Structure 1
Amino acid sequence: MIAENIKKVRENIEETCKKVGRDSKEVTLICVSKTKPESDIIEAYNVGERNFGENKVQEMCEKHDDLNDDIRWHMIGHLQRNKVKYLTDSAYLIHSVDSKRLLEQIEKEYEKAGKEAHVLLEINVALEDSKFGYTCESVIEDLPFIETLKHVKVVGLMTVAPYTDNPEDNRKYFRKLKELSVDIESKKYNNISMDELSMGMTGDYMIAIEEGATLVRVGTGIFGNRNYNV
């Protein structure tokens, strides 16, 4: 079932890219494996998937230690500052950087580890009270500070759009994130690129691709519904 689901998602990505004149190689599928057993990840791995997303640091680190070295682990959940130190060996990309204080902690821990963190700045485009993230305005204030960091490289933006039964409702948020990335890119900050846009999940990833997503985070559409009581 997982392999079949991945095939369908891949076909959707291909068709959507063709529709808007994009190369499907520009879009990376992240299989969101949070709460799912390692056997599910292995099934996805065996049909060629290498990018997996986790919400919790401990779960990601355990899976990183148990599974193949060529898997790229994406930290997509809210990140507490006291957990950053555990990511230096496991995180390929941190999607959910939502404050200056978190940036300072990442800089501190990656300096200790002698490594460079690749991160995305999380933007709460829809201004939902239940979501973390910078606003489109507040993120601009921290960009000069980010230029000074030696061990953190910002490579783009991320957003979690509202849950909706109609994916078309989220088009305006994806478009706004893309516009923000173009604006930031035009200012040519050192240490900041806008190569990646992480937006779109199971319900709306095709709309996100139409609006410029380079990373789509698909969980339920690949692994099925989650049991959070496990």
Structure 2
Amino acid sequence: MTQQQLLKERLDQIEQRIAAACKRAGRERSEVKIIAVTKYVDETTIGDLLEIGVDHIGENRVQDALPKYEKWGDRGVWHFIGHLQTNKVKEVIGRFAYIHSLDRLSLAEAINKRGEALDLVVPCFLQVNISGEETKFGLSPNDVLAFLRETSNMRHIRIAGLMTMAPHVENPEETRPVFQGLREWKERINEWDFPHANITELSMGMSNDFEVAIEEGATYIRLGSVLVKPV
């Protein structure tokens, strides 16, 4: 079996699980998009993923992502999903369609400045640390309103979604309150009606818990090991 065939086999199994989760939640399959987390795989694997119809590519580290983007950047939709240092913003803006890790004011300022220089409005996901784990990046929920106020005059940032990471636990059901919490924040933020923050997307759920995330409203799931673990 070739690598591409193996990836297709894994994707077919994932699709069955996504369809079942959507059915349980009364959702359409089209509402959920798979982001392939490709930080541990090479350019050839990304090419195989694109060939089998995985259109969304997620990278965590700028220095590792750039060679892959140079080869495949004209195909698919590229998401930057890792913690982003302000001095790396200039390398990400203009290449990646979405940034999933907007988590502090200094980063917002850097993104806005680069967006202005390139005459772009940059779609971002606000990363919220719903679980409260100290090892996780993201805004505390208590800081979300102040952050939205502070960024409301940044014309080159559009907050299109929210992102969170749940604790890695043996029983995926234990992650449900985290995903419920992010969905509730989506509803709350939209009620506040900030012009730069019309939240339509929820980036949540990974290989071990994506079905629960889908049941709670995920529109993007970030799949690494279950899809692209090395052969």
Paired letter, 2:93: T
Counterpart-to-counterpart distance in 1, 2:121 and 2:185: 24
1:215 aligns with 2:220: yes
Partner residue of 1:126 out of 131, 135, 145: 131
Structure 1 counterpart of 2:22, from 12, 17, 22:
17
Q: Is the 8 A contact 2:79 2:98 kept in 1?
A: yes
Q: How do residues 184-203 of structure 1 correspond to structure 2 at under 5 angstroms?
A: 184-203=189-208
SS at match of 1:197: strand
Task: State which of 58, 79, 94 in structure 2 corresponds to 1:53.
Answer: 58
CA drift of 1:57 comes to: 1.1
Structure 2 residue 39 is the aligned partner of structure 1 residue 34: yes
CA distance in 1, matches of 2:17, 2:45: 21
Q: Deviations over 1:35-87 (max 9, x none)?
A: 21111111111111110111001222221111151221111100000000001
Q: What SS does the aligned partner of 1:91 have?
A: coil
Amino acid at match of 1:158: M
- Determine if contact 2:50/2:75 at 8 Å carries over to the other structure: no
Q: Distance in 1 between matches of 2:119 and 2:65?
A: 21
Aligned length: 226
**Match 1:104 to one of 91, 106, 109:** 109
1:61–1:90 contact (8 Å) kept in structure 2: no
2:158 to 145, 153, 160: 153
TM-score when normalising by structure 1: 0.95
Distance 2:207 2:183 in 1: 19
Matched, 1:65 2:70: yes
1: CA distance, partners of 2:52 / 2:16? 14
Kindly provide the CA deviation profile for residues 171-213 of structure 1, in whole angstroms up to 9, marking residues without a partner as x.
0000011011101111111111110000000000000000010
Offset of residue 144 of structure 1: 1.6
The code of the aligned residue for 1:4 comes to: E
Cα distance in 2 for residues equivalent to 1:40 and 1:145: 41
Distance in 1, matches of 2:139 and 2:159, equals 14
Letter in 1 for 2:150: F
Q: CA RMSD in A?
A: 1.2
| Equivalent-residue separation in structure 1 for 2:40 and 2:67 (angstroms) | 12
- Give CA-to-partner distance per residue, 1:106-126, whole Å, 9 cap, x none: 001111111111000001111
Does the aligned pair in 1 maintain the 2:100–2:203 contact within 8 Å? yes
CA displacement at 1:130 relative to structure 2 = 0.8
Contact residue 42 and residue 68 of structure 2 kept, 8 A: no
SS in structure 2 at match of 1:193: coil
Residue 89 of structure 1 is matched in structure 2 by: 94
Equivalent residue number for residue 166 of structure 1: 171
Segments of structure 2 that go 5 or more residues without pairing to the other structure are 1-5
Alignment match, 2:181: 176
The separation in 1 between residues aligned to 2:167 and 2:123, in whole angstroms, is: 25
Find the aligned partners of 2:55 and 2:70 in 1 and give their Cα distance: 15
